[in-house]
Structure 1
Amino acid sequence: MSGRAAGGGERLSYFEGYRAIGAVVVVIFHAYQHNRDPVTWHWPLEGTTWHDLLRATDLVVDLFFVQSAFLLGRPYLRACLDGERRQHARAFLVRRAARVLPLYYTAILLVWAISNPILPGDWPDLLLHVTFTQTFSQAKIFYTNGPAWSLAVEMQFYLLLAVLGALAQRICGRLRHRSARLAVLLLGIAVLAGACDGYRLLAVSAWRLPDTYWPAWFGLPAKLDVFAAGLLLALLAAGGVRLPGAAARRLVGAAGIAVLVGGSVVRLRPGFPETFVHGVYGAGCALVHGASVLGGSHGPRWARVRWLVALGGMSYSLYLWHEPVLRLLDSHGLLPERGTAAGFGFTAVLLLAVSLPVAWLSYHAVERTGQFVARAFDGEGRRREYYRPLPDLPAPPQIRDVTEVLSLRGRLPAGTWPTRD
């Protein structure tokens, strides 16, 4: 969620357009989820196609994961393949921390403080959230700020990428041929995806974990193949793979949409383990992005509209603040009775109307601060020295009369001036 498309300049500005739509869709889904009947847990539109579409919107989180893996993995893969600028783990983690932590900690600490007015409060919940480990807790994974679980998964992926990126650069640096380096990277990505699918098979078939055991299905091990899809796309782009023309771009994009639709249909089958659908969604999102990334285009025109790109820039704030806003509106009795389609529509409109200004304020007051913090570190993750001491200047030569001053003109070091004996 928190990755930025800045690394690709204008060519990847459409990533922000996708991210904007995704964040709005998440807000709408949570408004829908909030309007389940409090007694029967019946969904307002259950039994309709609209209900199935809204349930499938969780693919948006997979879209965020694919984008993050592509944008953050691409510099590492370029360095491995072509020996471009070496990526330093410390610099990478510093940039990620500057991007994620200011807003994340602001939202978590504020919501927790309001929810726990009497100390010590639910300090285990706070500890889990500030360490990004809530995804390991069945009781606390969605506490304080529900959508923050995906930020915990992303932060865990950043740590994994820093370790694997350093290892991959070391291994590839010892290989002479580019084809050998490419094969090693492909194998590494395949191992990530395979480990994820193996974990899912064990969780479903051997361990028989229930669908409601959230740490099993919302943790990093269950999402690795989604990240692997983004890394594979980044590797293809770094490896120079290009689609031959507009027809090929349309074909790949259509294939991605077909995969997403197919995954949404398959998950409706009774008894089908939904966890496997997210790997399918990851592949579909990678194909949709690949149509533009590998086709050399600037992406869909609609995704590059200026206001949509601007909304994508503050989508991280919208994503983190909308649930606390929803809870605040509900606690003040501003939302309609739950269980009706009309109530869902009103909730969605009101939630967007309030959350968007909050997100705008949060972006300018909090997120941009993190961007300035990131600039205080160099490419190796070290603090920039803005006030280095000036080097020692040579002692000025001694003169006896004006003729010596004239003879020294043009030969004195900058910043020196002769003094009279």
Structure 2
Amino acid sequence: MATDAGTEVAAGDGGWAYRPQLDGLRALAVVAVAWSHWERPYQYGLPFGAGVHLFYVLSGFLITGILLRLRELDDKRTALKAFYIHRALRILPAFYAALLLAWLVDSATADEILKWHATFLTNVFIFSRAEWPGALSHFWSLAVEEQFYLVWPWLIVFAPRHLLAALVAFAILAAPLWRLSLASAGYSESLQGVLTLGSLDSLGVGALLAVTRCRPNLLLCALAPRLALWIAELLGAALPPWLVVTKPLFQAAVFGWLVLRASDGFTGLAGRLLASRPVVYLGKISYGIYLIHGLSGDILTAIFIAFGVTWPPSEPWRFVVICGSTIGFAALSWHVMERPINDLKRRYPYRAAAARDGSPRLSPAGIGP
């Protein structure tokens, strides 16, 4: 998952504007991811697992947008220091709280696996062992994000401006080529994207949108081939590896269209849905939902055992209990821990400075991750 990267985008006056529809997209993404991790009969052949790539496109777009503004500041290294402090405050407390909770309810049974999770190397563990470590398997995408943040900010902030678009395009193209090399070596499709290089096209498409602000309708050209590939898979067609590895790229382009449109503001029913209070709220607590959704069943089982309660015998009611508890745990995490800690980032503002053209710019304090 792409962690919460803030939903403010650059405004015309040099400040920052909140875009609630981007939180709405986060809600859709986290619901899709959680759904994909439930039993297969409930998925009906739909590619809900692609929700993680919507998170990636969102993160690439928002984070790169922030980094592009940091380029305008005089003291870039101090600004980057603030950037990393913001990321740590947003990501680490809830992440390690979830990891501790998993250990307490025995969702992560081996200390060795916990070490991989704690150091954001879950994706490396999965790739090297060709196995998925249970209820915390979805932490692989958090590992991808953190590894991405180790390098990407330095490239965007310090690379020559005329090379930015080419740099991002190279990152986008490197991902399917990497996946193709792994496919040729016999790696399964599920393993081809778990390392950071294999997910760079989704992150990179978001970044490219921030750098170029291309026309949204151009991105919809990718919808037809993505739908064709999905239908072919539903029909059981055997696709060649060179075609399979393009699926994440096509869907990233479609998600890019969604992100750009939501950033500008959908109108009509779609806009009202994405900006509705319940959907926006789910987007705000989406990081907690992402962290906890694989653990909710184990947590509830431990609670039920402690109080002598049994699970509802009906499968639909179990589903309702799991959904409700996941949202409840995430809301508790947001209000008690995440939001108060996230507010601390105001103590570490990006330094205000004049742009190179001499025009005043507002310090992006309090925005971003």
Q: Classify the TM-score, shorter chain.
A: 0.7 to 0.9
**What is the root-mean-square deviation in Å for CA atoms of aligned residues?**
3.0
Q: SS at the partner of 1:375? A: helix
Percentage of identical aligned residues: 25
Aligned ranges for residues 36-47 of structure 1 at < 5 Å? 43-44=40-41
In the superposition, relative to structure 1, how do residues 262 and 93 fare at CA in structure 2: closer, same or farther (>3 Å)?
farther
1:377 partner letter: Y
Cross-structure match for 1:3? 4
Tell me which residue corresponds to 2:45: 52
Unpaired runs of 5+ residues, structure 1, are: 33-42, 173-180, 244-248, 337-341, 381-421
1:21-420 to 2 correspondences below 5 Å: 21-32=28-39, 43-44=40-41, 51-53=44-46, 56-78=47-69, 83=72, 87=76, 88-115=79-106, 122-138=110-126, 139=129, 141-143=132-134, 145-168=136-159, 171-172=160-161, 181=162, 184-205=163-184, 207-211=185-189, 214=191, 216-237=192-213, 251=217, 255=221, 258=224, 260-268=226-234, 269-273=237-241, 274-293=244-263, 300-329=271-300, 334=311, 343=315, 345-379=316-350
Asked whether the equivalents of residues 135 and 152 of structure 1 are also in contact (C-alpha less than 8 Å), the reply is yes
**Is the 1:253–1:288 contact (alpha carbons within 8 Å) kept by the matching residues of 2?**
no
Normalization by structure 1: what TM-score?
0.69
- Cα contact 1:71–1:234 (8 A) shared by 2: yes
CA distance in structure 1 between the aligned counterparts of 2:219 and 2:173, rounded to whole angstroms: 25
Secondary structure, counterpart of 1:208 in structure 2: coil
Displacement of 1:26: 2.4
SS in 2 for 1:98: helix
Q: Over alpha carbons, which structure has the higher Rg? A: 1
Partners of 2:279 and 2:140 lie apart in 1 by 25
Q: SS in structure 2 opposite 1:125?
A: helix
> What is the TM-score of this pair, normalised by structure 2?
0.78
For residues 266-317 of structure 1, the C-alpha deviation after alignment (integer angstroms, 9 at most, x for no partner) is 4443345555322221111002222344x57678221011221112101111
Q: State how far apart, in whole Å, the 2-side matches of 1:155 and 1:372 are.
A: 21
Separation (CA, whole Å) in 2 of partners of 1:116 and 1:59 = 24
Give the AA of the match of 2:119: T
Equivalent residue pairs, number: 328
- Cα pair distance change 1:210/1:252, threshold 3 Å: closer
Counterpart AA for 2:176? D
- Name structure 2 gaps, 5 residues minimum: 10-15, 305-309, 352-369
Q: Of the two structures, which has the highest relative contact order with CA contacts closer than 8 Å and spacing of 6 or more?
A: 2
Deviation by residue 1:311-345 (Cα, 9 ceiling, x = unmatched): 21011111111211123346756265xxxxx83x4
